[in-house]
Amino acid sequence: MAASKPTSSARCTASSSSDGGACSCEAWNPTTVTGAPLDPVEARVTRAERQGRCGGPPCRLRRSGSYDTAAGGVSPAAASRLQPRHDGRRAGTGQDGGVSDDATVPFLIDAGGDAGTDPRTFAGGAADIEAAGYDGIFAAETSHDPFIALAAAAMRTERVSLMTGIAVAFARNPMTVAETANDLQLVSEGRFILGLGSQIKPHIEHRFSMPWSAPAARMREFVAAVRAIWSSWETGERLAFEGEHYRHTLMTPFFSPGPNPFGTPPIWIAAVGEKMTETAGAVADGVLAHTFTTERYLREVTRPALERGAASAGRDASTLGISIPAFVAVGETDAELAAAIQATKAQIAFYGSTPAYLPVLALHGWEHVHEKLHAASKRGEWTQMAELVDDDMLRAFSAVGSPAEVASQLRERFSGLVTRLSFSAGYPIRPEVQAAMLAGLRGE
């Protein structure tokens, strides 16, 4: 006789006591397939963590109540993730942006998976990335859907965070994104992070055939709409979101998945300019910086804009995460390093030719370089453009040297400044070189 399917239930409540409120989450299976009871798993957070996660999932939209998750329950692995963990305060660990509990590690270290590859290949690579000791995996939206790649990766991993880095928001609508993100939070058992980006006008209008206008304002409303949809599912209250760009006013019980036992996933916004960064500070859980970003730009432009946005919404900016995909030009031999430097200069030249990234160059007084790069790109002189990137510009954008030297430079530049970091390279890096950089970042 087949064993009966376990049933389960969970509840999450939020209080508003004099200390600012606290969350408590409980998740349990009354019976296992053998009929033996499981002990309750409880997670509690302090006021400082209340705006982050209650055992991982956010609880600021939760209301008192209970819900049934008989369709699958909470696995032991998921239950372990419902234990207390820190938020994105540049200390601790958490899916929303914090760094490792190991005090020697200044930030979480992610790997940028290539969602341009077959999702089946991506899933196998994700398992290897997890085994190598990374904290999270990004899937970019290029020639394949990043959500599909991460769904496949969720089935092959148990520990790492899974992030869209990024999914194009304006190619979709808030309802479809809310549904997909909710399901990925389910299949990953609470490990999903929704990273959204605006893309640029030509792609939105001509590749996706979708409207483009006021990207920062539209993104703010997009995120608010997604959260309103999740809240409707969570509470059962009427969906009544009406904005300038999006309107969602219908959600019948038949189409509602109900509360997610792992909570709603964090939302991060990709930003370069100050307006979009302020938007991230106001409505998101973190900002995804562009790889064409220097330490100086992060300190003097990105972080102040994030803080302004947070202040405008009455939020504490220290609870928000900052992720940087850092350029690395790394090699163990002279020939390997020379090739890495040339490839990195070519990448810097490519981004530097784009008007959208001019503010980064302007901060350093390199406007004239942008003008030359932009003109060369119009002529199709892609190979020659790398010659316009001198060593000073290279080292402003990229860590350069042996694996140990690169790790040391990254720690020095970004400790206390970012909460997540990944390597960005336009050339293949041998696994042993990646392992050496990872070990160096971890102080091993």
User: What is the pLDDT at residue 163?
Assistant: 97
Tokens 């990953």 locate to 188
User: What is the pLDDT at residue 103?
Assistant: 56
Q: Which of 23-27, 62-66, 170-174 has the highest mean pLDDT?
A: 170-174
User: What is the pLDDT at residue 171?
Assistant: 98
User: What is the pLDDT at residue 96?
Assistant: 53
User: What is the pLDDT at residue 116?
Assistant: 65
User: What is the pLDDT at residue 119?
Assistant: 87
Strands, E, within 105-228: which ranges?
A: 108-113, 136-139, 161-164, 167-168, 192-197
pLDDT band at residue 379 using 50, 70 and 90 as cut-offs? very high
**2-16, 278-292, 296-310: segment of lowest average pLDDT:** 2-16
User: What is the pLDDT at residue 104?
Assistant: 67
User: What is the pLDDT at residue 15?
Assistant: 32
Higher-confidence residue of 3 and 40: namely 3
Q: What are the extents of the domains in the chain? A: 1-85
Q: Per-residue pLDDT tens for 235-285?
A: 999 999 999 999 999 999 999 999 999 999 999 999 999 999 999 999 999
Torsion, CA 363, CA 390, CA 327, CA 113, rounded to 10: 120
Share of the chain above pLDDT 90, in %: 72
Give this prediction's pTM: 0.79
Answer for the pair 166, 195: CB distance below 8 angstroms, yes or no. yes
User: What is the pLDDT at residue 443?
Assistant: 87
- Give the rounded distance of the alpha carbon of 273 from its chain centre: 18
Q: What is the Cα gyration radius of the chain?
A: 22
Q: Per-residue pLDDT tens for 69-85?
A: 333 444 445 544 443 33
Q: Per-residue pLDDT tens for 416-438?
A: 999 999 999 999 999 999 999 99
Strands, E, within 255-304: which ranges?
A: 267-271, 286-289
The mean predicted confidence, pLDDT, of the chain is: 82
User: What is the pLDDT at residue 120?
Assistant: 85
User: What is the pLDDT at residue 18?
Assistant: 32
d(CA 269, CA 279): 8
User: What is the pLDDT at residue 112?
Assistant: 81
Q: Look at residue 55 and tell me whether its pLDDT is greater than 50.
A: no
pLDDT mean over 144-159: 95
User: What is the pLDDT at residue 314?
Assistant: 98
d(CA 259, CA 11): 10
> What does each C-alpha distance from 32 to 8, 83, 261 come to in angstroms?
9, 20, 17
User: What is the pLDDT at residue 186?
Assistant: 98
